[in-house]
Amino acid sequence: MDPLGIKGTYLFTPPVHGDQRGSFHEWFRGDLVRERLGHDLSLAQANCSVSSRGVLRGVHFADVPPGQAKYITCLRGAIMDVVVDLRVGSPTFAQWELVRLDDESRACLYIAEGIGHGFMALTDEATTIYLCSEPYAPAREHGIHPLDPEVGIEWPRDVDPVLSDKDAKAPTLEEAHASGLLPDYQECLDYYAKLAGRG
């Protein structure tokens, strides 16, 4: 697992073994995650979404603690995945990073609690699965608008974004910050340390 530029995000590209029958790869290895994070990824929920080209989901995050860590891969087609540092006080606050996940590289993305996550489908039938450390809890779930110009995520220009009503009505980063919705960086670090202490 290779760290990205935002603390708490990692990219894992597994070896893919192929022959005349097809291919095989290990898309999740608990021992590698534990080695990198210092704790296991607690599995509380597994999600699967199928999206048409242009569908833009996110940017979503959850209250910390407990937040919701995610481990994501694209089984079919391709997506452009984004991580946004929404942790107030972080050295990389409001910075974002795009990663392509597709059915060729089989790359996987880990996102720690408190970091915003979203993706755009680059193909029809883009099938994305992700493991979550906590179950969905509507009262603790939030979002920021994925097209907020202040954040300035550089989504692919050749794809027209299609948003849900909920994501289209999400606040800007400034509005979310002013209303106290965003997680605190130090609280996130303390929570990561607590997870590591549990082993």
> Which among 71, 130, 191, 192 is annotated as catalytic?
130
Is 145 among the catalytic positions? no
Rounded CA separation 36/44 (Å): 20
> Which among 60, 117, 142, 145 is annotated as catalytic?
60
Instruction: Please name the amino acid found at residue 27.
Output: W
Is 25 among the catalytic positions? no
CB-CB contact of 135 with 66 (8 Å): no
DSSP output for 54-115: TBEEEEEEE-TTT---EEEEEEESEEEEEEEE--BT-TTTT-EEEEEEETTT--EEEE-TTE
Q: Which residues have a Cβ under 8 Å from the Cβ of 95 and sit 6 or more positions away?
A: 5, 6, 84, 85
Question: Annotated catalytic sites, by residue?
Answer: 60, 130
